[in-house]
A and B are shown apart, each in its own frame.
Chain A
Amino acid sequence: MSKRLFVKGNEAVAMAAVEAGCRYYFGYPITPQSDIPEYLSRELPKLDGEFIQAESEIASINMLLGASAAGVRAMTSSSGPGISLKQEGISYMSGSELPGVIVNISRSGPGLGGIDASQADYFQSVKGGGHGGYHIIVLAPSSVQEMYDLTMLAFDLADIYRMPVMVLGDSVVGQMKEALVPHKRPETELPPKDWAVRGKGDGEQRVVKSLYLGDGELEAHNWKLHAKYLVLKEEECRWEDYETADAELVVAAFGSAARIAATAVIMAREAGMKVGLLRPITLFPFPEKAFFNVTQRCKKVLDIELNTGQMVEDVRLSVVGDAEVFFYGRPPGAGSLPTPEELLEQIKKYY
């Protein structure tokens, strides 16, 4: 299992899903994520799994809802407009406390936009993209290896917390080929799915639902969901910290932007500047404490995104009061991916 492979990020996602025990996939074609359904349409039938190319993203997310309600590991993937169509289903899954993995190889927008790397769906992903006030766990890989690792983690987190988990990438991490060392599914202890429908047999009736009409019921349900989000903030924040210990300026970036930013940070170090990188891996729960801790000492943060400024709001809410937060970003589209040199200029500007 430890041999090195050279694969696309999207393939790494599909391979990790299979290794994680996912045997059910429902999706609808859209660029730049189609390698995922293509891989799974080939592999799942060999494993007695089910692959359905659904009539729409709406149908796919609801097939995922049904399969998850029946207690199996299942996944869907999409991008941009397709993820928008899934939002009602994600809201129902959140309300019904259903696990399920949603891969979003996001594209640029709004509207049909384009297929270039984009981080414009940060808000949609982390702030509850559908109605009713909820959160899902959002993981942001920045390499092919992480596409694999975080997809595998997504299935465990979904089962542990009984909620949808999104793997949020884009065409850079999805389409790029890189070395991957696949590994076995970790032996995580998972809670029994004693809520899943199965046909009641001689047991009690089980109902998977999000409707609560009794006096005080829905409020209690919402507080219960909220309590889970607080546990997530305590237990599941993940981030990468690179050379921040002595940094006088910390760059904040996630996913593909963090790859470019990392190169710029190395260039800055080579030029003698004390610059570090703080890369959130979980976008929800957002690693607030990591930003608070680093800004106890370092008072300058430069947030870089492939959009006009979204995660920067969470960075501003997390830092120590007297820290300054600067922003540099470019809305996505053909020819608008910043270069490391361009980011180095920004680092110099605020350093």
Chain B
Amino acid sequence: MQQVFRRPLSLKDVQTHFCPGCHHGTIHRLVAEAIDEYGVQKRTIGIASVGCSVFLYSYFNIDVVESPHGRAPAVATGVKRAKPDSIVFTYQGDGDLAAIGTSEIIHAANRGEQITVIFVNNTTYGMTGGQMAPTTLVGQKTSTSPYGRNQAKDGAPLRMAELMAQLEGVAFSARVAVNTSRNLFEAKKQIKNAFRYQVEGKGFSFIEALSACPTNWGMDPLRANERVGTEMCDYFKLGVFKNVENL
């Protein structure tokens, strides 16, 4: 009998702490599949950030360094410069990357560090209980925007994948979602692409993955999944925004 579906080698056989309907687990799996695909598990170093994905080391069977909130791209820079033969990726939430860590992400990208960044956009601060994030949609209610995000005061949500694409140092930037099988398939392809860029030494690669946070959105998993495809995809368009291979 042929086994057609199995757990990626780079993932551990453990239960995750993610809430039901959370997309972090799915995105973890796609990242692990990409690592397996290129056979680089043994030389991959993951950089965990602070947020719901802080336990990266509990789920991935790879070496991991934990970094302070927002600083994963700087930590990744130190690791990659010291060990240029390793495959280094960061895994960061939207509070982590697009608020407190904007300086580190922009400059690591601009230096063209040979790393891959997995940016999980769930329009809220998951771990701290659903506060407003830099990606919270206009009008969206959160625990610190009880009247809805007000663009006049809070600004508009940041579109990071497009922003990153503007930087000379970025070789690849794409936004994906995992809410439907079709999107999932595309996400898998683009996450693999992002890792391939690093494996082939082509430069800095960036993936923004839209993600559901049913718990903090106050929705059941199905409704939350639906919201990714509607409200979120309306504002955060899926697609590849930069690919130096096609330039």
Contacts and interface: CB of A to CB of B under 8 A. Distances in A.
Interface stretch (B64-72, B143-151, B178-186): B64-72
Given A197-B45, A197-B63, 4 more contacts: A54-B107, A70-B82, A198-B45, A200-B41
Interface of B: 41-45, 47-48, 54, 57, 61-68, 71, 74-83, 85-87, 103-104, 106-107, 111
Nearest to A201: B42
Contacts of A236: none
Contact of B44 (A52, A69, A199, A211): A199
Contacts of B62: 199-200, 205
26 contacts: A24-B81, A50-B82, A54-B107, A55-B104, A55-B106, A55-B107, A59-B107, A64-B78, A65-B65, A65-B68, A65-B75, A65-B78, A66-B75, A66-B78, A66-B79, A69-B65, A71-B82, A89-B71, A92-B67, A199-B43, A200-B62, A200-B63, A201-B42, A205-B63, A207-B63, A208-B66
A59 B104 contact: yes
A72 to B, nearest CB: 4
A210 B71 CA distance: 15
A55 B85 CA distance: 24
Nearest first, the 5 A-B pairs at minimum CB distance are: A66-B78, A199-B43, A62-B74, A67-B78, A209-B66
Contacts of B76: 66
A58 interface: yes
Interface of A: 24, 26, 50, 52, 54-56, 58-60, 62-72, 74, 88-89, 92, 96, 197-202, 205-211
B86 A198 contact: yes
Given A56-B103, A199-B86, A199-B87, A92 B81 contact: no
Nearest to A65: B75
A206 B63 contact: yes
A60 B66 CA distance: 16
Contact of A92 (B68, B106, B111): B68
Contacts of B74: 54, 58-60, 62-63, 65-66
